[in-house]
């Protein structure tokens, strides 16, 4: 190890959870069992929209082992992270098929499940709102009659009472109307797709126990430990300090575990049995039908250019399908608005982003938080517009790409620090995919090869006071234990934080021990592990903690080495004199204080503490959207090459390219893997994933037999990931967030490639052979 240049940041360190995971030794929450534990199960609605006339629990009570049955009457109040519109257990009304109507607690899981099947609810059916388009119509049946009276938990949520609009977020930048009137050419197109699932390998689980002294102990597969505390405090009137949340390593999350659904149910269940430990674990079908899912989307995009082909006006109408309750869809509605243009400089922007209620399962955050969805609409339109303007789609993008000095839709000013180099990403992706102009290649056997690209951006829309903390505790042997509330969900965050700590402390990564579990009792506060924010927030907190520790080491070291603190440096496991590096002392001799030969000791354990909070973020203005909602924009380009079989409409994804500018890359291996995982997820969603509803609003494919994920072997043959590293001055070692990004452009790039190959404009997902067949039939042989 040498002083000066970097030793671990920028290197492909092995993930610290690699061995445990690959040997199958990780214990997930569902694997854990505790003495005396009781089990809960939800009984769910068999109607998508109905008034509850009665719930008869008498047959359920007859099942052996049943200890409690909780219905909506126990807690008839709506809760929620943004707009409190969702009772944890339905009362009065059910708003989706699969919604909890009762929770049964029993000695064994099968007894609870059996009893759940014996709950008899009598309903008075109401007209169903079965699509987001229907929800938006003036005379649509109302799903929430009282939406005007719901409590708002954060800014920037605007329900429109008397409609199915849970929030309406506006962007008004420049003068759209005037600009539109003078456009040389314009285009307008509409896109849509249904709700879908996160399909994390680990289904959701929560356990709750209420101690006799009033402490509430929660274990959960959650990305939001502190949100659980907040919600329990706000809605159950519990002291924040009395709610203790434990989060073990998660088996995937993709945003779906940011929502707080199971914990309140388990709390009500535990409360009903005198505080006993109750476990609620969702089976796959419940995880798909009852738990929150991925938003559905409908977008109309209008773009206009001037003589030079520069975009001067853009209008965007987004209908974000929230399903029965707004949950994070209300936040996504805002996030989609504030980045509505994609990474293009457009001086005149008009955006109406609507969060729409329907009688479908409710949606929450999904990796990319509205951006994979809006990117699909924007990038399809950009391709179509380039075609209309007879320009190469990549040239058209490069002509309009946003740059430092320009402003975002909310009029945030971009600087070389807060945005990556989108043009560079695009240019590199173009090389890597082997772009040869926009033309498909037809082989003799009817296989058509085509390429599609997408350019994207995203800011990290955290709350304006989002923060993270870190503690570096020195052990007797001079190694360090790192504690933070960053949740490990497969993204490698704990490894990244260890590298950041090791780099600043100039130690080996192997000497940083990271606590995997989060325990809110001793881990410092962290907003949530979402929004690609952890490397930035927790990483900066780790740096601050490391600096704090270094100060302490120097203070004790100065005593031991009989010099001043300024003379000293820390590194390589030692505190040493800068000018004479061979004079120094091992950290282990000062980690718990320095002991003189006579036994006297000075100092004490070195514990570095650091906190980092977002700087200068503001909410958005209600009428114009004006504000600074995010700290930085990571940008990227993706490209996909496909081979489409003209005869049977099936296609194969041959190659996928991702080029991302996320500032400094802390670990190129985990980062590349994160991008591959992202594009896999994006392609899977685009290709086959989608909930299919029948007339009654019931999901037809609520299991992994019928819900079509991309399987192993169906991924692209070639997966290329590269990074452009434009450092962010205020990120840890210049890093911005990258967590979600791999997913963002996937659907758009695939749809662009397929549209080119098939010679029709594909505007819906999933991109099944039947969709292509129908679109082509409508275009070429109308009946």
Partner 1 sequence: MIPFNFDYFKPETLEEALKIYSSEWKLGKKVIYLSGGTEVITFARGGKMTFDSVIDLKGIPECTMLEMQGDDLVIGAAVTLNRLVESNHFPLLSKTVRTIADHTSRNKITIGGNLMSKLGYREGILPFLITDAIAVVYGPAGTEAMPVDNLAAAELAEGQFLTQVKVAASNLDLPFVSMKRTRSSKVGYPIVSLAALRKEGRIRIAFSGIHEHPFRSAVVEGILNDETIEDQQRIDKAIAKLPTNVTDDFIASKDFRKFVLNKLLTEMNAVWEGSR
Per CB under 8 A, residues contacting partner 1 are 109-111, 113-114, 116-117, 283, 285, 647-648, 650, 687-688, 692, 694, 700-701, 703, 705-706, 708-711, 713-714, 766, 768-770, 773-774
Q: Please state the closest distance from residue 272 (CB atom) to partner 1, in A.
A: 20
Contact indicator for 313, 277 with CB cutoff of 8 Å: no
CB nearer to partner 1: give 659 or 750.
750
The two structure tokens encoding residue 425? 């990403």
CA pair distance 469, 103, nearest whole angstrom = 36
CB nearer to partner 1: give 117 or 668.
117
CB nearer to partner 1: give 35 or 445.
445
Block residue for tokens 């809760």: 79
CA pair distance 654, 642, nearest whole angstrom = 5
CB nearer to partner 1: give 604 or 769.
769
With the CA atoms of 629, 630, 636 and 641 taken in that order, what torsion angle do they form, in degrees rounded to the nearest 10? -50
Q: Please state the closest distance from residue 682 (CB atom) to partner 1, in A.
A: 14
Q: Please state the closest distance from residue 47 (CB atom) to partner 1, in A.
A: 17
Q: Please state the closest distance from residue 41 (CB atom) to partner 1, in A.
A: 8
Angle at which helices 225-236 and 262-272 cross, to 10°: 50
Nearest to 326 by CA among 142, 536, 150: 150
Q: Please state the closest distance from residue 687 (CB atom) to partner 1, in A.
A: 5
Report the 3 state secondary structure along 568-587. Answer: EEEECCEEEECCEEEEEEEH
Q: Please state the closest distance from residue 372 (CB atom) to partner 1, in A.
A: 18
Q: Please state the closest distance from residue 285 (CB atom) to partner 1, in A.
A: 6
- 3-class secondary structure, 421: coil
CB nearer to partner 1: give 565 or 646.
646
Is the preceding peptide bond at 54 cis, omega within 30 degrees of 0? no
Within 10 A of 444 (CB to CB), how many other CB atoms are there? 5
Contact indicator for 642, 654 with CB cutoff of 8 Å: yes
Strand-pair partners of 303: 187, 314
CA pair distance 581, 86, nearest whole angstrom = 62
Nearest to 60 by CA among 105, 109, 15, 100: 105
**Exposure pattern of 447-485 as b/e (b: 16+ CB <10 Å)?**
bbbbbbbbbbbbbbbbebebbbbbbbbbbeebbbebbbb
CB nearer to partner 1: give 476 or 712.
712
CA pair distance 199, 704, nearest whole angstrom = 9
CB nearer to partner 1: give 2 or 705.
705
Q: Please state the closest distance from residue 395 (CB atom) to partner 1, in A.
A: 33
CB nearer to partner 1: give 537 or 656.
656
CB nearer to partner 1: give 54 or 647.
647
Q: Please state the closest distance from residue 30 (CB atom) to partner 1, in A.
A: 12
CB nearer to partner 1: give 14 or 700.
700
Strands (E), 310-446: 311-323, 348-357, 363-364, 441-442
């Amino acid at each position: 190890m040498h002083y000066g240049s970097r030793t671990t940041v920028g290197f492909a360190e092995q993930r610290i959870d690699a061995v445990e995971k690959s040997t199958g030794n990780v214990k997930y929450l569902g694997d854990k069992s505790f003495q005396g534990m009781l089990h809960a199960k939800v009984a769910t609605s068999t109607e998508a929209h109905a008034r509850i006339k009665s719930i008869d629990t008498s047959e359920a009570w007859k099942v052996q082992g049943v200890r409690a049955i909780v219905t909506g009457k126990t807690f008839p109040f709506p809760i929620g992270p943004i707009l409190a519109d969702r009772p944890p257990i339905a009362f009065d009304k059910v708003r989706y098929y699969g919604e909890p109507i009762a929770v049964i607690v029993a000695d064994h899981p099968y007894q609870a499940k059996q009893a759940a099947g014996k709950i008899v609810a009598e309903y008075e059916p109401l007209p169903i709102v079965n699509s987001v388009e229907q929800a938006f119509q003036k005379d649509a049946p109302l799903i929430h009659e009282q939406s005007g009276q719901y409590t708002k938990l954060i800014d920037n949520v605007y329900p429109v009472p008397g409609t199915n609009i849970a929030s309406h977020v506006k962007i008004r930048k420049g003068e759209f109307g005037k600009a539109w009137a003078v456009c040389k050419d314009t285009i307008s197109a509409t896109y849509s797709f249904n709700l879908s699932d996160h399909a994390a390998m680990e289904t959701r689980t929560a356990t709750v126990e209420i101690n006799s002294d009033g402490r509430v102990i929660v274990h959960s597969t959650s990305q939001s430990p502190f949100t659980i505390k907040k919600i329990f405090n706000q809605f159950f009137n519990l002291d924040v300090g009395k709610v203790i949340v434990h989060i073990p390593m998660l088996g995937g999350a993709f945003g779906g575990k940011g929502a707080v659904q199971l914990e309140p149910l388990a709390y009500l269940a535990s409360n009903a049995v005198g505080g006993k430990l109750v476990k609620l674990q969702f089976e796959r079908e419940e995880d798909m039908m009852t738990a929150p899912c991925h938003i559905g989307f409908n977008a109309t995009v209008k773009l206009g250019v001037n003589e030079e082909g520069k975009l001067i006006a853009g209008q965007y109408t987004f209908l974000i399908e929230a399903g029965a309750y707004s949950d994070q869809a209300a936040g996504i509605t805002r996030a989609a608005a504030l980045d509505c243009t994609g990474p293009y400089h457009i001086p005149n922007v008009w955006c109406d982003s609507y969060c729409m209620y329907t009688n479908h399962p409710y949606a929450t955050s999904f990796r990319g938080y509205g951006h994979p969805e809006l990117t699909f609409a924007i990038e399809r339109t950009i391709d179509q517009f380039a075609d209309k303007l007879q320009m190469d789609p990549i040239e058209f993008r490069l002509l309009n790409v946003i740059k430092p000095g320009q402003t975002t839709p909310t009029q945030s000013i971009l600087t070389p620090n807060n945005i990556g180099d989108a043009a560079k990403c695009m240019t590199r992706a173009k090389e890597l995919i082997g772009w040869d102009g926009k033309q498909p290649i037809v082989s003799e056997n009817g296989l058509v090869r085509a390429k599609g690209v997408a350019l994207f951006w995203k800011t990290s829309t955290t709350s304006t006071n989002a923060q993270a903390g870190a503690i570096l505790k020195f052990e007797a042997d001079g190694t360090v234990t790192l504690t933070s509330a960053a949740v490990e969900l497969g993204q490698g965050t704990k490894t990244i934080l260890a590298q950041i700590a090791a780099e600043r402390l100039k130690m080996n990564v192997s000497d940083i021990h990271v606590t995997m579990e989060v325990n809110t009792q001793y881990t410092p506060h962290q907003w949530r592990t979402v929004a690609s924010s952890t490397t930035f927030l927790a990483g900066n907190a780790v740096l601050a903690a490391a600096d704090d520790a270094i100060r302490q080491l120097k203070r004790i070291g100065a005593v031991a080495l009989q010099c001043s603190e300024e003379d000293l440096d820390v590194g390589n496991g030692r505190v040493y004199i800068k000018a004479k590096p061979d004079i120094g002392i091992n950290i282990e001799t000062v980690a718990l204080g320095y002991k003189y030969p006579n036994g006297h000791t000075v100092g004490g354990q070195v514990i570095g503490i650091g906190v980092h909070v977002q700087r200068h973020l503001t909410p958005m203005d209600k009428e114009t959207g004006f504000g600074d909602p995010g700290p930085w924009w990571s940008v990227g380009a993706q490209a996909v090459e496909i081979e489409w079989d003209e005869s049977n409409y099936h296609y194969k994804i041959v190659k996928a390219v991702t080029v991302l500018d996320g500032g400094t890359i802390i670990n190129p291996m985990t980062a590349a893997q994160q991008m591959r995982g992202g594009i896999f997820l994006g392609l899977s969603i685009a290709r086959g994933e989608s909930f299919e509803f029948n007339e009654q609003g019931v999901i037809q494919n609520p299991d992994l037999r019928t819900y079509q994920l991309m399987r192993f072997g169906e991924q692209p043959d070639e997966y290329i990931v590269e990074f452009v590293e434009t450092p962010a001055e205020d990120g840890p070692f210049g890093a911005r967030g990258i967590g979600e990004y791999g997913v963002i452009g996937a659907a758009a790039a695939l749809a662009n490639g397929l549209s080119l190959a098939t010679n029709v404009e594909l505007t819906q997902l999933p991109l099944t052979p039947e969709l292509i067949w129908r679109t082509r039939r409508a275009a070429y042989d109308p009946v």
